[in-house]
Amino acid sequence: MKEFLQSIDESTRRAFLLQVAKATLGVSLAPRFLLGAEKPKAPSAKAPCDRVIFLYMRGGMSQIDTFDPKDSQEFGGPSRPIPTQSPDLQLSDKLPKLAAQGKDLSVIRSMTTKTGAHSQARYVMHTGYRQRTGMTHPQLGSWAQMFLGKSDPILPSSVIIAGGNPGPGFLPPDYSPLPIGNAARGIKDLLPKIDKAKLEKRVRLAKGFSSSFAHYFPHDEVKAYSDFYDQTVKFMSGDMSEPFDIMREPGNLRARYGNHPFGQGALLARRLVERGVRYVEVTSSRSWDSMHGGSRNLANLANELDGTVSSLMTDLRDRGMLDSTMIVVTSEFGRTPKVKGNGGRDHHPNGFSAMLAGGGIKGGIAVGETDDSGRDPFPEFEPKDLHATIAEALGMTGTKIRRLPGRPSFLGGKPKPIKEILA
């Protein structure tokens, strides 16, 4: 054994230990955030925002039907502007519940992106970068862990709900968000398919086996694998899995969020940020792709958005958390202001909207504008600027890092925070 251990390099040892851990614990997806047992870093100064819930409306949300309504029969389609609780902000009449909370909302109406293709635009909105061959970039939750440290000793710092598994980009594996496919099931699909007694026996055997690594290679990364077993058992215990169980919430509250995957995902997001997760993203269960007559689904789409986000805001406010929790609602691009003959709207990257509320956000205003026909955004803000705005509210300063093999990289690629929207 000694000769074998000494014959392999560090990366091979790490990969070998990871496979041992996965086999021992009986899981198909090793929770990589447990590999780095770093302690949360104390912030140098109190940031206005402690946590972020990022709500992603997949498919290209129509800004005309949500946050940038036009009072025109030709360009407004089926939506009309209505006043909100704030005299400086109007929303679509499809969002009456959010309009009633207008003093806490701010809208960026001059978002723009350089691609109208779903996949590429989705990548830009999540990373701030355009796709490059052979390169993947981190998402906001991973960046935040890089600059601010882990938000909780056991729980992950970031979680992605119904949005796939983006990984950590070019950051180390332990900066990866934890992917949750179904909010109603929580982490049940990640738990081992063996009973507790058998799991504990496997852990004891594996820890004894891995002690050889620690003896011959007393490095911090090797020691982390010993901690990994202890951390994983704690995470999979009732106490640590409890934050992921939305069935512990009262039935009337679950119904208020909406009996659909997006609503339940938002409820899970609230549970997670309440217990120490810094960044949670929830992807909408319905697609906003209205290219081929999809605007006929507008009522259902808007009802889900309006009901879920307004309930999330109310719930956070009632718990005293809204002032420290930022909510972001956005999409990969917008939709053409003019409705086509088939009732649909085409892709529209040149001028769309994002909505923000809560921690670090001024509230009650619209920043930027499009012209009367919903085009020509001014001033232009790109997804990377939205990222920089969120990062500044979280207290992420000095957004330049050096990634392997030593070249400088920036969060979003040298963005500019949207100061007008920050409190």
Query: What's the CA gap between 151 and 161, in Å, rounded?
Result: 18
Helix H segments across 94-191?
96-99, 118-127, 140-148
- In 12-127, DSSP assigns E strands to 51-56, 81-83, 90-92, 105-112
Q: What is the model's pLDDT at position 25?
A: 42
Question: Which CATH architecture is the domain 39-191+243-421 placed in?
Answer: 3-Layer(aba) Sandwich (3.40)
Q: Where in the chain is the domain with CATH 3.40.720?
A: 39-191+243-421
Q: What angle do CA 23, 26, 32 make, to 5 degrees?
A: 75
Q: By the 8 A CB rule, do 285 and 162 touch? A: yes
Helix H segments across 64-110?
73-76, 96-99
Amino acid at 142: S
Q: What is the model's pLDDT at position 339?
A: 86
Residues facing 407 on adjacent strands: 403
Measuring CA to CA, which residue among 385, 377, 393 is closest to residue 411?
385
Contacts of 418 (CB under 8 A, 6+ apart): 108, 367, 381, 385, 386, 388, 389
Residues facing 200 on adjacent strands: none
Token digits of residue 181 = 């496919």
pTM here?
A: 0.83
Query: What's the CA gap between 243 and 235, in Å, rounded?
Result: 10
Query: What's the CA gap between 46 and 399, in Å, rounded?
Result: 18
Query: What's the CA gap between 140 and 304, in Å, rounded?
Result: 25
Q: What is the model's pLDDT at position 405?
A: 46
Token digits of residue 411 = 């969060």
Average pLDDT per 10 consecutive residues for the chain, totaling 423 residues: 49 50 45 45 72 97 95 81 95 97 97 95 94 88 90 92 91 87 85 64 64 51 50 58 92 97 98 97 94 79 97 98 98 92 88 97 96 90 94 77 51 78 93
Report, in angstroms and rounded to the nearest whole number, the Rg of the chain calculated over CA atoms: 23
Say which DSSP state 195 is in: -
Q: What is the model's pLDDT at position 87?
A: 92
Q: What angle do CA 321, 326, 330 make, to 5 degrees?
A: 140
Query: What's the CA gap between 66 and 79, in Å, rounded?
Result: 8
φ/ψ of residue 38, rounded to 5: -70, 150
Q: What is the model's pLDDT at position 33?
A: 45
